[in-house]
Structure formats: C-alpha cells, structure tokens
Amino acid sequence: MKRKLATALVSAAFAVGAGSAQAQVSDGVVKIGVLTDMSSLYTDLSGKGSELAARMAVEDYGAAAKGIKVEIVSADHQNKPDVGSSLARQWYDVDKVDVIVDTPNSGVALAVNQITRDKGKAFLVSGAATADLTGKACSPNTIHWTYDTWMLANGTGNAIVKTGGDSWFFLTADYAFGHALERDTEAVVLKNGGKVVGKVRHPLNTQDFSSFLLQAQASKAKIIGLANAGGDTTNSIKQAAEFGIVKGGQNLAGLLVFITDVHSLGLQTAQGLIFTETFYWDANDQTRAFAKRFAAANRGIHPTMIHAGVYSAVLHYLKAVEAGKTDDGTKVIEQMKKMPTDDPLFGKGSVRADGRKIHPAFLVEVKKPAESKAAWDYHRIRATIPADQAFRPMAEGGCPLVK
Amino acid sequence: MEIFGIPAQAMFGQLLIGLINGSFYALLSLGLAVIFGLLNIINFTHGAQYMMGAFVAYLLLEKLGIGYWWSLAIAPVLVGATGMIIERTMLARLYKLDHLYGLLLTFGLALIIQGLFRNEYGSSGLPYRIPEQLLGAQNLGFMFLPNYRAWVIVASLVVCLSTWYVIERTKLGAYLRAATENPQLVQAFGINVPRMITLTYGFGVGLAALAGVMAAPIYQVNPLMGADMIIVVFAVVVIGGMGSIMGAIVTGFGLGVIEGLTKVFYPEASNTVIFIIMAIVLLIKPAGLFGTQK
C-alpha cells in the first residue's frame, strides 16, 4: 500500500513537472508497440531482443527525466500477415499505440505499412527486408531503418560477382521477402555481366533442403544464392555442407545472414561465409558497450543489426517527438526526416524523403574457428560501403513521394 | 533418358532424398500408431518428445561429452521414462473418457514443453555434428549420398520392421493387442495390463526420441523442430489409417517420396501436398489406406 502511494505521488510529481512537454502528446503517453516474431524462426534475431532494444533506447534517451511518459507493449505476429494486421489495428484503434517498430517478415510489414498510413500513425521498420517499403510501397508514415534487399544484393552480390562468381542459382523463400531479395540480387548479377541459371522457391520455415540443394548442385552454378533468412538459412547451409556442395566447387552466398545464425551454425560450418550487414557489435567501443549491456539482459545473445536498428530508430523517434512537441504519426515522421540522425550504434546519418534511413554497410566474412578469440567473436569486416552507395538511389526506387 | 522432363539421374536422387525424409515420417508415425492402436490416445506431445530426444543428445554431448552412439540408446530411455511418468500421473486418468480429452491434454503438454525449451534455448537452433564414423559421402553416379543419410534410412527401416514384427508376430505383441480389445479378460489371465500399457507408451515416446537423436545432426537442434513435424506426421497417420502399424510405415516412406517429387515439380506446394492427399484419402476411404472400420 505504502509503495503504491509513493508511486502515485512520484508519477503525479512527474506529471505536473512535465505539463508543458506533454501538451501535444496524445493522451499524455507515447506508446510504442514492438510487433515481432516471438515464437518462430525469427525470434532470436528480433523477438524479445527487439523489445529489449526499445526499452534500452527509452532508458538512454532519459524519457522520464525529460518528462515524456513512454510505454512499451509487444506482441507476436506469428509471421502471418493477417495476425499482424489485426494486432496493428487493435493497437492503433483500441490501445492507443502511437508507433509500431521492428516487424520482421516483409509480408507482415507491407500489411502494417498500409494500415499505418491509413490511420496516420508511425511505423519504424527494422526487421523486414523488402526494399519495396521505400519503393513502390513507400509511405509518409514509414521509415525503413536498418537494411533492405537492395542493399544486401548490392553489397554481397557485387562483391561475389566481381571475384568471379558469375553464374547463380537461387534458393528463395516463397514470400514477399524472398522474392524481393531474389529480384534485387538477380539485377546486380545481370548488371555485372553474370547470369542466373536457375531458381527454386521453397515454403517459409522448411526443415529439409536436400531436394532443393540437389537441384542447385545439378545446375552447376558457381554460386548458390540463399534468398532466405533465419532458420531457413542455417538449415540450407548446414545441409549444403553435408551434400559436399562447397567441396564440389560451388559456393554459397548467404544473402541475409545474422550473427545469431552464425552462432547457431558454429564457426566450423559457417567459416568463410561472406555477407553484408549494417551493424556489428565488435566495431567500436560504443557498440561493444551496447552489446555488453544487451547480452547481459538477453541470455547472452549478442545484438543483431535488427536489434541495433530498433534501438537507433526509437532513440531518433523520441528526439523527434521532443523537438516537434507532438506524437502525431505523420508529423513525427516528417520531423524525423528533417533532423540528422546520431546515435552510438550507427553514428551520424539521415533519413531520406522516401523513408530510407542512410548509413554505411559492412561486407563481412565469418572467421575461422582458430581466429575467433572470444565468444561471439565471429565476423571480420572486409570492406565498408559508404552510406551514399550502400542503398538504392532514391530516383531508382519509384517511390511516389519523391516526385 | 528423361522422366517428365527431368534427367533420370536427377530423378533417382530425388527419390532417394524422399526416402530419407520418409524415414523420419515413418519412425514418428510408427510411435503415434503404436500409442493410438494400443492406448487409444492421440499423442500430440509426440513432436515435443521428438525434440526432447534431440536436446538430450545435444546436452549429453555438451555437458557430459557423451557422443552420438550412446545418445541413440540413452535419449530414448530418458525421454521414454518421462513419458511413462506422464502416462502414470496424467494419461491413465483419461482412458475412460473420449479421445478428445487425451488430445487436449497432450496438446497442452506439448505447448508447455516447447515453451520451456524456447525460453531456455531460443529459436535459432543449436549445432550438433555428424558422428565422425559417418562423415563423408558416397558418389552413386547419379547423386552424392552423405553416409549419414544412408545410415538414417537403414536404421529407420530396421527399427520400423522390428517394431512391426514384435507387435504383429510375437506372443508379447499378441498380449498387447488382446489387452486393447479386452483389458479385463487379459488381466484375468494374470497379466499386469496397466504396467504393459505404461511400457507401451514409454516405448512409443522412446521411438520419437530416437527419431530426434537421428535428426539432430541433419537439422539444427531446435525447440520448434517438433512443432514443424507433428502436423505432417499426423497427416501421415491419418492417411495410413489410425493405429495401423504397417500403414504408418508404408505411408511414412511413401509420402516422403511424394513430397520429395513435389519439391522438383512444384516446390511451392511441397508443404501442402501431404494435406491434399489426406483430404482425398479421407473422402474416398475415411478409415485410411490401411485402416479398418471399427
């Protein structure tokens, strides 16, 4: 009872002190909804970690001290666009959520993108990959934060084709994300004079890839491009080793690989894999400090680029709410585009008119077991792609907002 | 030579792959069929028990340094024992009630077990290596067959056929079958029917755990591996005919092959083809291909 009274008094004190800052914030609370995969193949690379990253951002921003009351809720979209859509509607209409963040799974993200636009709220995408979010499906209410299929294709595809990997076979997850990643990578391969000799589309969350791998093997392509993610990628890589694909002279290109996938495969299987990411925890002192705090609260799992993106996006969002003195979705997103971004994980950057957040990308290679000196010491950064080259030029995206 | 526009060599490879996946379906649906046939329980915990088998193998290796071969023996016994505890403390109370109660209980248990493992180990899976003796592969001319996969087919066939033999052709099997038909009478002959039923459940669960250990080196050891598998395996059991041992084995291998071929001709449908077949079978022969109407 005593404690309850004390809490009430403290919040009352905050409320009084915060009167001015909260004037334009709807119902006095900035409510952040983390819509993510809490139970299936993308849980470790987003999931609870994304919720944690959002909390850390609110804490580091010092929302309480600044008098902005922030609440975080989270939910599991089960990788089903219909489930994700109804959660988003309920959050916006009933629970007064102001902004939805994360949302791995491009199918779900595209659905929530449209709903957010209809309701005039805000959507900060870190988990989903499809570049359509800043292309034909771009919206004045959405910012695509961390990475996208074009950037992955450009980073990894370019590097591989230029080192001789000029014939490709795609193993593609059969939904919006896989199709987008395959399309963007194919474009890079063709542009650089390579060719695509075949492709096969597998259902999301497949256990056995041997049949597909055999088709890839028979195609004699030099590179087998994995346009899938999470458990699908780890299973493909593991089983490819079993069928002697790499020993037979073909190489795998993991087009979207997260550090949690590398951890799950073990360095013995994952070594030598080349891929692109926009955040690596062991890049500098600030990222290391973040990773240490994050891992301690997340069963030792180190942050993926999606987690880092959620942190950075929420931080910038709160700064924009403070600067614009409103949490109206359309206005905050506009404000976020006006202000340059700056945070400990991605450094200085900006948000483009089409909703694309811009920062450098890293081409990394997975270390050999002998090179890894500590737990989660997995990646070596081979090249840094500068921010202005890492993402699709705005004119090529076909975003109607840009005209 | 080509078969339906696919080179014959590639076709043989795909058939073989189908058989390998079929071995897992057969092993799992066999356990389900044994449990349903003899206990009349629809064991929805089966997928979770398959996953537990893989995790026991992983933990034995990580914590105690006990390798694959010992795990093949230890994991089924350990997981089977937890199964027997579940049977004694919970399932035994439900035998007199409708099937639905057993189904709900085992489904709930599956969710709890999976949730606990997911909380502890996350969802991306843990690595488990192929035992050294089975590393490498044979070049069969038409395909590269990993030694481990060859072992899976052989082991699964041996286990399936011996189980069938014990239940359908031995005296012990005859007791079991009699106990399902008329427990009172069999008890009157001096046979401890409840104990026999407990052991049978333990055996069925042990089969699931065995499949789990065999799957660990191929797939990641993952808390969700059973959830992905169980629905398919149930379809296999329904197609084969609930409770039919031979039905489970033949349909398991057969559907593995059909699924494998779908992955070549129309990969997008590879995770639905089994359910389409199930729907057709249910329409034409509701008791399943090998089932008998009771």
Query: What stretches of chain B show up as alpha helix (H) in DSSP?
Result: 8-39, 46-59, 68-89, 99-121, 147-169, 171-181, 183-188, 193-215, 225-240, 245-265, 273-284
Where residue A23 falls among pLDDT bands split at 50, 70, 90?
very low
- Cβ partners under 8 Å of residue B117, min gap 6: B51, B52, B55, B223
Q: Which residue in B14, B123, B220 is closest to A43 by CB distance?
A: B123
* CA A396/CA A385 separation, integer angstroms: 19
B126 has a pLDDT exceeding 90? no
The answer as to whether B241 is a domain residue is no
Instruction: Kindly state whether residue B182 falls inside one of the protein's structural domains.
Output: yes
Amino acid at B257: V
Do the Cβ atoms of B124 and A47 come within 8 Å?
no
The answer on A348 and A267 residing in a single domain is no
- How many domains would you assign to chain B? 1
Per-residue confidence (pLDDT) for residue B190, from 0 to 100: 87
- Given a cut of 90, whether residue A24 has pLDDT beyond it is no
Which phi and psi angles does A99 have, rounded to 5°?
Answer: -145, 140
Integer angstrom CA distances of residue B191 from A247, B165, B184: 58, 21, 10
* A84 and A184 both lie in a single domain: no
Q: Is residue A30 part of a domain?
A: yes
A370 CB-contact burial (10 Å; exposed 0-12 / middle 13-18 / buried 19+) = exposed
Q: Report the CATH number at residue A32.
A: 3.40.50.2300
- With CA atoms as reference, report the closest residue to A45 among A258, A361, A291: A258
In a domain, A368, yes or no: yes
Of A200, A207, A301, the CB nearest to B267: A200
Q: Which helix (H) or strand (E) holds A199?
A: strand A195-202
Same domain, A195 and A240: yes
The answer on A256 and A382 residing in a single domain is yes
Query: Average per-residue pLDDT in chain A?
Result: 90
Mean pLDDT for B229-244 is 88
Q: What is the span of the domain harbouring residue A299?
A: 26-147+283-355
Residue A195 located in a structural domain: yes
Tell whether A207 and A304 lie within a shared domain: no
A176-222: pLDDT as tens digits: 999 999 999 999 999 999 999 999 999 888 888 988 998 898 899 99
Are the beta carbons of A217 and B144 separated by less than 8 Å?
Answer: yes
Residues A141 and A35 in one domain: yes
- In tens, the pLDDT along A317-366 reads 999 999 999 999 999 999 999 999 999 999 999 999 999 999 999 999 99
A199 in B contact zone (CB under 8 Å): no
Alpha helix (H) ranges present in A18-46?
none
Contact by Cβ (8 Å): A247, A268: no
Residue B3: per-residue pLDDT: 64
Evaluate if residue B120 carries a pLDDT over 50.
Answer: yes
Predicted pLDDT of residue A21 = 43
Mean of pLDDT values over B256-266: 89
Q: Are residues A216 and A138 in the same domain?
A: no
> pLDDT tens digit string along B33-89?
888 888 888 899 999 999 999 999 999 998 999 999 999 999 999 999 999 999 999
**In this model, does residue A4 exceed pLDDT 60?**
no
Say if A174 is an interface residue toward chain B (CB within 8 Å).
Answer: yes
Torsions phi, psi for B204 (to 5 deg)? -60, -45
The total domain count for chain A is 2
Indicate if A102 and A211 belong to the same structural domain. Answer: no
Q: What does DSSP say about strands A357-358 and A347-351: parallel, antiparallel, or unpaired?
A: antiparallel
The whole-angstrom separation of Cα B114 and Cα B110 is: 6
Q: Do B18 and A235 touch (CB under 8 A)?
A: no
Residue A287 and residue A273 share a domain: no
Q: Is A9 among the domain residues? A: no
Nearest CA in chain B to A264: B126
In a domain, A6, yes or no: no
Q: Give the DSSP H/E element, type plus range, for residue B54.
A: helix B46-59
Confirm whether B281 is domain-assigned: no
Its pTM surpasses 0.80: yes
CA A200 from centre of chain: 25
Chain-chain contact of B7 with A244 (C-beta, under 8 angstroms): no
In a domain, B245, yes or no: no
Look at residue A160 and tell me if it is in a domain. Answer: yes
Same domain membership, residue A290 and residue A265: no
The residue of A37, A39, A210 whose CB has the most chain B CBs within 10 angstroms, and thus the best one to mutate to test that interface, is: A210
Tell whether B47 is covered by a domain.
yes
pLDDT tens digits, one per residue of A167-176? 999 999 999 9
A172 and A36, same domain (yes or no):
no
Burial class (CB in 10 A: 0-12, 13-18, 19+), B273: middle
In a domain, A290, yes or no: yes
**Residue B187 — very low, low, confident or very high, per pLDDT cuts 50/70/90?**
confident
Please say whether the beta carbons of B239 and B249 come within 8 A: no
| CA quadruple B142, B143, B145, B146: dihedral, nearest 10 | 160
Number of C-beta neighbours around residue A247 at 10 A: 12
Asked if B149 is an interface residue toward chain A (Cβ–Cβ < 8 A), one would say: yes
What Cα–Cα distance (Å) separates residue B18 from each residue in B51, B224, B253, B254, B270? 21, 22, 8, 8, 12
Using a CB–CB cutoff of 8 Å, tell me whether A201 touches chain B. yes
What pLDDT digit, counting tens, does each position of A34-92 carry?
999 998 889 999 999 999 999 999 999 998 898 889 999 999 999 999 999 999 999 99
Q: Classify residue B33: in a domain, yes or no.
A: yes
- Give the distance between the most distant pair of CA atoms in chain B: 64
Does position A18 have pLDDT exceeding 70, yes or no?
no
What ipTM does this complex have? Answer: 0.82
Taking alpha carbons only, the member of B188, B184, B172, B160 closest to residue B246 is B160
Residues in chain B: 294
| A238 and B CB contact within 8 Å | yes
Q: Do A241 and A367 reside in the same domain of the chain? A: yes
What local confidence, expressed as pLDDT, does residue B284 receive?
Answer: 92
> Domain range holding B170?
26-225
The DSSP H or E segment spanning A285 is helix A285-296
Is residue A14 a part of any domain in this protein? no
Q: How do residues A219-248 score in pLDDT, each as one tens digit?
A: 999 999 999 998 899 999 989 988 888 888
